Structure 1
Amino acid sequence: MRSTAATATTISADIHFLHWWTSKGETKAAESVKTTLSESDIALANVPIEGGGGATAKAILQARAIAGNPPEMALIEGPAIKSWAALGFLHQLNRAAENGGWHEKLLPLVKDIHQFEGRFVAIPVTIHRLNWLWVNTDVLHRHGIVMPETWPAIISAFHTLKSRGVSPLAIGNEPWQIVQLFENIAFGLGGSAYYRQAFIELDPKAIDSDVTRQALALFREISDIVAEDLSNQSWDVATQDLMAGRRAFQITGDWVAGELMALNGRLPLGISCYPVPSKESGFIYNMDSFALFHTQQLDSHDANKLAERIASPDFLQRFNQVKGGIPAWQGIELNGFNHCARQSMTDFQYAASTHALIPSMIDSMAVSPVIQKAVSSELYRFFNHASVTSESVIAHMKNLGASQINL
């Protein structure tokens, strides 16, 4: 327990932080959390769990909590925050919120995600953009390929590269990487209204539509192109392939920027970022959030002091520069941020004004874990097995929509 003789910010016991940040860029970001807290005499013990999508870490967190031994702090995303709060595991952080002006500094979207029954129960840290197309422009130049600006042009570039012995897409055969690709295709072809209806609300009419069939057809075409080069590599190994010129494209979140900077010291000149082609300008997002659990080592007073330190502008700026994302707070200066992050902030603000901010389904921001896993399994199976038809995927997803209504 906290010593009564301690200073206002000193916590005598180590704070265990459970997360799934294990790549070079992510490890550097996790170390920045440790450094920041150590400046306030708070000792942090990082507990990283392998697995880029976080499934293993989430399972371990659940097991520890059920056993009565949760970590003091954990990385949590989206609807899971309210679920943990409803079960009574999380500290309320309203004192930190009042002292730090969270209500004024957070967008309504961000506030809603991090509150339960009107009380803050988690700390928003980072907004990540998922609809980024990362391109090794040196590879394109070598093969005389103009930067593709549409999905047909991307497919044409893939075919050209493949015919010349170059694997076009940096991607691993992990469910979250594969389904994130589909998420970008579906949003690109259908736009924000369609995506919300089909993959968040699971509306049967939106699912059973020409747009869904077009998205699945494009998804299958990419599968046919990349299948023979597909391995179970993690996303960060795929990013290393992109940087080395062994791949030309990567379609994933802006954590790629954090990885590239960790590997190269800065964004390599030969790597560029572009919004994934879509029928409308939009922003698919997830958020990194820290939740503080009730433990013998962390009482309410200390939890709120810890939350104040993490929500400080200097930490948010430092952390996001390293992580590759943008702060989930208004008023944080982006001095020293890479150009992709600055573009991301501009696009986020525009998408917020046009109602085109889209929570990622595969990255735990949009639907319950049960629905997320079921949809992900269907799409992953489709990508990897040519015998699975579009119609069977559509039928299964319509059934999921019906089951969600009945829950």
Structure 2
Amino acid sequence: MKTIHALAAGALLVTAVGQAQAAQIEVLHWWTSGGEAKAANLLKEKLEAKGHTWKDFAVAGGAGDSAMTVLKSRAISGNPPAVAQIKGPLIQEWGEMGFLGNIDKAAEADGWDDFLPQEIAAYDKVDGHYAAVPVNIHRINWIWANPEVLKASGVEEVPQTWDAFFEAADKIREAGYIPLAHGGQPWQDATVFEVVMMGIGGGDFYRKAFVELDPEALTSDTMIESLETFKKLRGTMDDNIAGRDWNIATSMVINGKAAMQIMGDWAKGEFTAAGMTPGEDYECVAPPMTEHMFSYNTDSLAMFDVDDAGQQQAQLDLASLVLSPDFQASFNQAKGSIPVRLDVPLDDFDACAKASREAFDVAMDEGGLVPSLAHGMAVSDSQQGAVFDVITNFFNDPDMTAETAAERLVSAVRAAE
């Protein structure tokens, strides 16, 4: 009976636009690459089918750094968009500043708390009330590989230890290919580093270092080993990484110029857009020592406080659409992620998505589920920026030792508190 009542309430919510004035809402996001843009357009089409108008405000730039700069400027000038893509603790920061609205009406009508993972839902609440809607779950710790390049290099499989990885990299280089495609941007450097660190240190160490920012963890032998391994990876990349966008690095794997890339599963959207099939045209494999771990990032759409009744209804309709089972399936298949609704079956999803969901379940049970620092899920914006600065400087300075970098991590995050 509870389910029947919830379905009825949800139907009333999504049809309420007929009783309220349809509205235009501006949506700020950074879904601009091929696979991402296709996914965003699905949501736009569904919202406009409800009678509203989606005013697209796309700001290119990996990980949303540019979009957040634009959002801050708009908010300071008193003209924020009605909806903005925001992640993790940053949602609470915007809420505490009084910018966000309340979409509990949508959450209660559709029973969000019945199907959302508690760890994920907590990010979207401000003072116990929903202010944002989660769209998906991304797995950060993936290696994307071109099997033809590996075979041509005499490498039988994606390496599962770092020692094996560096041995394979030598073979790939000798065969005339780039072992690891990478874009030299701070968030991409941090992505690779956190993947290395989580494999070497495990879930508990990762949380001490990158969630609690514990000084002992940040200067430990485990951290030193992680930093040294990370820096060694620079030698497996080409000389032209500076400023390269992530999707350009992905295209290097797609086009057979590079063997592998360490990147979150939005990279899969690029392979999909290129008409490639996992297990045949490309491989998706957990990086060394992270098979049963899951570093996650969740895209959320935060609803800014608006006075217009039509815009308020449009926000509620958008939130309801985002978590509808059919949209969860179609969007995440295009985006490369997995549904944030754990009750959406993955029968029609590809092998990589099914492997991601299996890893998510195992990580939840075994303590390997960790929030991505590189992708805004672990610490504050200022603390994340402090870590980025140290990691990128260390990666690009051949003379900086791992010990020096570790000490600078402690000083940097302390200054950013």
Specify the TM-score bucket, using the shorter chain as the normaliser.
over 0.9
1:162 maps to: 173
Counterpart Cα distance in 2 of 1:110 and 1:392: 35
1:199 maps to: 210
1:361 maps to: 373
Structure 2 residue aligned with 1:86, among 96, 101, 113? 96
Equivalent residues, number: 400
* Cα 1:11/1:342, change in 2 over 3 Å: farther
| Aligned AA (2:43) | V
Output aligned runs, 1:14-29, within 5 Å: 14-29=24-39
1:144 maps to: 154
For residues 307-328 of structure 1, the C-alpha deviation after alignment (integer angstroms, 9 at most, x for no partner) is: 2222211111111111010111
For residues 220-264 of structure 1, the C-alpha deviation after alignment (integer angstroms, 9 at most, x for no partner) is: 111133252424221111111101110000111010111111122
| Aligned AA (1:88) | G
Structure 1 residue aligned with 2:241, among 201, 208, 230? 230
Asked if 1:269 corresponds to 2:264, the answer is: no
* Cα 1:291/1:9, change in 2 over 3 Å: farther
* Cα 1:183/1:40, change in 2 over 3 Å: same
Counterpart Cα distance in 1 of 2:287 and 2:132: 30
Counterpart Cα distance in 1 of 2:251 and 2:402: 33
Unaligned runs of 5+ in 1: 1-5
Normalised by the size of structure 1, how large is the TM-score? 0.94
What SS is found at the alignment partner of 1:187? helix
Q: Contact 1:135/1:272 (CA < 8 Å) preserved in 2?
A: yes
Normalised by the size of structure 2, how large is the TM-score? 0.92
* Cα 1:274/1:66, change in 2 over 3 Å: same
Asked if 1:64 corresponds to 2:74, the answer is: yes
2:256 maps to: 245
Counterpart Cα distance in 2 of 1:257 and 1:391: 36
Output aligned runs, 1:5-404, within 5 Å: 7-8=17-18, 12-147=22-157, 148-226=159-237, 228-264=239-275, 266-267=277-278, 269-278=280-289, 281-297=292-308, 299-403=311-415
Counterpart Cα distance in 1 of 2:282 and 2:97: 45
Q: Contact 2:30/2:67 (CA < 8 Å) preserved in 1?
A: yes
Counterpart Cα distance in 1 of 2:179 and 2:92: 40
Counterpart Cα distance in 1 of 2:193 and 2:415: 22
Moved more, 301-310 or 375-384: 301-310
Counterpart Cα distance in 2 of 1:209 and 1:324: 35
* Cα 1:104/1:68, change in 2 over 3 Å: same
Unaligned runs of 5+ in 2: 1-15
Counterpart Cα distance in 1 of 2:261 and 2:283: 11
| Aligned AA (1:359) | P
| Aligned AA (1:117) | D
Counterpart Cα distance in 2 of 1:25 and 1:199: 29
| Aligned AA (1:66) | I
Q: CA deviation at 1:280?
A: 6.6
Q: Contact 2:133/2:319 (CA < 8 Å) preserved in 1?
A: yes
Counterpart Cα distance in 2 of 1:86 and 1:48: 25
What SS is found at the alignment partner of 2:63? coil
Q: CA deviation at 1:91?
A: 1.5
Q: CA deviation at 1:360?
A: 0.5
Q: Contact 2:60/2:67 (CA < 8 Å) preserved in 1?
A: yes
Percent identical? 37
Counterpart Cα distance in 1 of 2:367 and 2:137: 16
Counterpart Cα distance in 2 of 1:279 and 1:98: 37
Q: Contact 2:394/2:400 (CA < 8 Å) preserved in 1?
A: yes
Q: Contact 2:22/2:314 (CA < 8 Å) preserved in 1?
A: no
Q: Contact 2:152/2:175 (CA < 8 Å) preserved in 1?
A: no
| Aligned AA (1:25) | G
> Where has structure 1 moved over 6 Å in runs of 4 or more?
none
